[in-house]
Amino acid sequence: MVDLQRNFRNWGTKLLREQSRNETDALVKLWVLMNRTTIKSAGGLHVCTAFFGCYDDETGLAYYVNAGHTPGVVRHKQKIRPLEATALPFGLFAEAPPEASMVALNPGDALLLVSKGVVEAGYCGDEYGLKRTGEYLDHSRTESAHEICVGLLERLRQFMRAAPTHDDVTALALVRST
């Protein structure tokens, strides 16, 4: 994983810094490189999910690849929609062309990514789920990405009636302010 993280940072920075870059093409190239690295590092097939992308603050466009990860959730013009998988996870096939996608964020729109530990968090046999995650984002009227994440994790703690310690529990938000 250390090699994968280092390569992601190096290749991502290089591919997205190029003057003639096309964000979706750069993300597809990055997926191909990361996929090959995963297979090589694992010595064969190994499943590694990921959600990665880039955001253009001037245009409000978020470009992304969801490689088998938990779907992202977008609050767009007061509607919630998931950002489903656009590619296979890293490490399954040597060549499996991914797709990159994009979503336009208007002022006040928000994008929320959560780990599977959030979605699979349970209480008495009931999972928190992606639906509750989307409902939280829909009802959250804060304009701060930090407050969205903190609020979601607090809502998760209330749902579980305890602090989550079962798995990786991560939330990452992006809010377009202007």
Report which of residues 96 and 91 the model is more confident about. 91
Number of H helices, E strands in the chain: 5, 9
Quick one: pLDDT band at residue 143, thresholds 50, 70, 90? confident
Is this model's pTM higher than 0.85 or not? Answer: yes
Q: Can you spell out the DSSP letters for 59-110?
A: TTEEEEEEEBPPPEEEEETTEEEEE---BPPBTS-S------EEEE--TT-E
Number of Cβ within 10 Å of residue 58's Cβ equals: 5
